[in-house]
């Protein structure tokens, strides 16, 4: 069974992917916990691109609306504030509403990028490196990789420094709502509902303040943007603000944490990047391809479709295994090797199609600056344990802890 096999190899799922991918481009399995409800696994690059870019596949089970079992809500109705926030996230919208809101947010983000975000990210990295350099033992997840993306987005949104620590804590609790983590879900949803109320209240107040006195930040830009009537209310703006705060956090954290682990285990990669810093942008793309921070994404068939000779019925769940597609040997030469000289073949670590990661440009800046910081920090560190613990999550995939000790 695919999911059980992955659970046994959460730190290194690639042998499982290889076995399934070599057998077939698509596999039809029973969805876990549903008995006979189908789930399609897509493991090769060409078919992954077909699903991710195809208009016949979307993010909402309710819109697919055709299986024998009722569609599952994004969030159970017992958690109304959490549900309302998530319902207004771009990642769970479909065109044309998704297209219109994405255009607004993309333009506002691009304006902030032009305003000098890169310098701000590098300043955050310097502070994190300076602090970590004074510690005899450091957890590179908690004290570095997890801090950079959330501190960056808080600054971009315009959150005052005095509020950032509280918001970071509330965001961490909110993220417990993800369905991909093990254990009982109800306590996590209850805690996330409370955090959702706090975040909802905070951003509604922040938007009111900026209506009265606009600032040079992303929240003010979103308020000032020209939006259609169905995108103009505060529910959408609050949902978008929370989504931006959380959306790239886990992906960037995992990308940096897994890159740190790779550089510690293969120090020749550090040496190459120090000798040839011009390779850093290509290296960032290669790190994301080689060990994707998001290993899987879900789509639902909105109509009957044929992919690689298989008939996918409307209402079927389709799981695109990005980690497998990014190591497809038909697409990438020597896919299980880190190479900084690839010929520009596009990986799918940021997705494809309408839901291509809106924050990919900012994410690249964060990871690039974060890797620059690691090149300064890592030479004096050694891993405490070769068996690095991973979170039991194969969607947002990465170490839960990466403990390293300063060399004597």
The DSSP line for 42-74 is E-SHHHHHHHHH-TTEES-HHHH--SSSPPPPS
Q: Which CATH superfamily is domain 2-406 in?
A: Cytochrome P450 (1.10.630.10)
Residue boundaries of the structural domains of the chain: 2-406
Cα separations in angstroms, 87 against 81, 93, 238, 302: 10, 8, 11, 19
CA distance 92 to 59: 6
| Cβ proximity of 45 and 295 under 8 Å | no
**DSSP state, residue 291:** T
Q: Which residues contact 12 (CB under 8 A, 6 or more apart)?
A: none
Cα separations in angstroms, 319 against 133, 348, 402: 41, 14, 29
Instruction: Give which of 35, 97, 25 is closest to 67, Cα–Cα.
Output: 35
CA distance 43 to 326: 9
Torsion of CA 90, 92, 97, 98, to 10 degrees: 50
Q: What is the pLDDT along the chain (408 residues), one digit of tens a residue?
A: 898 899 899 999 999 999 999 999 999 998 776 556 789 999 999 999 999 998 899 887 777 775 544 445 678 889 999 999 988 888 788 778 888 888 888 888 888 877 778 899 999 999 999 999 999 999 999 999 999 998 999 999 999 989 988 998 898 888 877 655 666 788 989 999 999 999 999 999 999 999 999 999 999 999 999 888 777 789 999 999 998 888 768 889 999 999 999 999 999 999 999 999 999 999 999 999 999 999 999 999 999 999 999 999 998 999 999 999 999 999 999 999 999 998 766 898 888 876 677 778 888 999 999 999 999 999 989 999 888 999 888 888 999 999 999 987
Torsion of CA 324, 326, 329, 333, to 10 degrees: -150
Tokens describing residue 319: 């799981």
Tokens describing residue 189: 């949803």
Cα separations in angstroms, 225 against 73, 101, 103, 311: 31, 11, 10, 43
């Amino acid at each position: 069974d695919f999911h059980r096999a992955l659970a046994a190899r959460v730190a290194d799922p690639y042998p499982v992917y290889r076995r399934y991918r070599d057998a077939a481009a698509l596999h039809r399995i029973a969805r876990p916990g549903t008995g006979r409800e189908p789930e399609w696994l897509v493991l090769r690059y060409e078919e992954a691109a077909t699903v991710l870019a195809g208009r016949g596949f979307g993010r909402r089970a309710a819109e697919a609306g055709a299986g024998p079992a009722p569609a599952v809500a994004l969030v159970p109705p017992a958690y109304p504030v959490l549900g309302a926030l998530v319902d207004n996230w771009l990642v769970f919208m479909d065109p044309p509403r998704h297209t219109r809101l994405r255009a607004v947010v993309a333009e506002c983000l691009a304006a902030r990028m032009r305003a000098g975000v890169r310098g701000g990210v590098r300043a955050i990295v310097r502070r994190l490196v300076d602090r970590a350099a004074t510690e005899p033992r450091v957890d590179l997840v908690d004290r570095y990789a997890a801090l950079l993306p959330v501190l960056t987005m808080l600054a971009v949104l315009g959150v005052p420094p005095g509020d950032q620590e509280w918001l970071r804590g509330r965001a961490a609790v909110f993220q417990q709502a993800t369905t991909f983590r093990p254990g009982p879900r109800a306590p996590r949803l209850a805690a996330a509902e409370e955090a959702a109320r706090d975040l909802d209240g905070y951003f509604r107040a922040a938007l009111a303040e900026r209506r009265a006195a606009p600032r040079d930040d992303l929240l003010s830009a979103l308020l000032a943007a020209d939006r259609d009537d169905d995108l103009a209310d505060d529910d959408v703006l609050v949902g978008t603000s929370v989504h931006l705060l959380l959306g790239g956090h886990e992906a960037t954290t995992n990308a940096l944490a897994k890159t740190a682990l790779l550089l510690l285990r293969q120090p020749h990669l550090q040496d190459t990047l120090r000798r040839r810093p011009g390779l850093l942008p290509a290296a960032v793309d290669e790190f994301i391809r080689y060990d994707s921070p998001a290993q899987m994404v879900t789509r639902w068939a909105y109509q009957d479709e044929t992919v690689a000779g298989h008939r996918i019925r409307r209402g079927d769940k389709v799981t695109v295994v990005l980690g497998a597609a990014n190591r497809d040997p038909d697409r990438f030469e020597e896919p299980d090797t880190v190479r900084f000289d690839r010929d520009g073949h596009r990986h799918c670590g940021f997705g494809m199609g309408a839901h291509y990661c809106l924050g990919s440009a900012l994410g690249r800046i964060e990871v690039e600056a974060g890797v620059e910081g690691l090149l300064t920090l890592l030479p004096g560190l050694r891993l405490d344990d070769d068996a690095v613990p991973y979170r039991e999550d194969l969607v947002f995939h990465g170490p839960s802890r990466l403990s390293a000790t300063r060399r004597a």
